[in-house]
Every structure is written in C-alpha cells, then in structure tokens.
C-alpha cells in the first residue's frame, strides 16, 4: 500500500559526454548521473506552475516557475559546502 503513495523516481541522464554528430544520439553516449523526484503544483489564481525537482533524499535541487504566458525561471540549489 505504501508504494501507491510514493513519488516516482526518474533517472537523470548526463548528455555532456555525448558526441553531437548528426541528429541521432546513441544510448551508449549517455550515463546516469543520479536520480530525481519531480512534483508539479499549480496556483489556481495566477496560473503559475511550480515544478520541484528533488534528489532521492528528498532535498530540493531545483525550483522552476512557469507562467501561463510561457516564460519560465529556475532556481538551482546547491547543498555542497
């Protein structure tokens, strides 16, 4: 029953090492850089969506604000000292 309420965990892929020759990127060119949980909330009055991206320890890594007009802003959080 607990699994029904757990947030899904997504794999984060690092494409910086990928060779960009053409439009096709092979799966071998990517590596898994970590895991993330994504939560989407929407403000009913202002039409602004909040996307919270957390790591597997539930620490928030990124907060993204998306306006109904299409513009977006992100805040990246770094917990390293």
pLDDT of amino acid 8? 73
CB-based contact 72:66 (threshold 8 Å): yes
pLDDT of amino acid 4? 59
Residue-wise pLDDT tens digits, 23-39: 777 777 777 777 888 88
The list of the chain residues with pLDDT below 50 reads none
What contacts 49, CB < 8 A, 6 or more positions away?
40, 41, 42, 43, 65, 66
Radius of gyration of the chain (CA): 16
Question: Per-domain residue ranges for the chain?
Answer: 2-17+28-76
CA angle 80, 39, 52 (to 5 degrees): 35
CB-based contact 51:36 (threshold 8 Å): no
pLDDT of amino acid 11? 77
pLDDT of amino acid 3? 57
Structure tokens at 5: 């309420």
pLDDT of amino acid 69? 86
pTM: 0.60
């Amino acid at each position: 029953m607990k699994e029904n309420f757990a947030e899904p965990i997504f794999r984060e892929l690092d494409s910086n090492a990928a060779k960009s020759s053409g439009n096709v990127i092979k799966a071998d060119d990517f590596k898994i850089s970590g895991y993330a949980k994504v939560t989407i909330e929407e403000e009913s009055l202002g039409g602004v969506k909040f996307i919270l991206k957390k790591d597997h320890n539930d620490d928030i890594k990124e907060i993204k604000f998306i306006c109904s007009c299409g513009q977006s802003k992100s805040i990246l959080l770094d917990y390293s000292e």
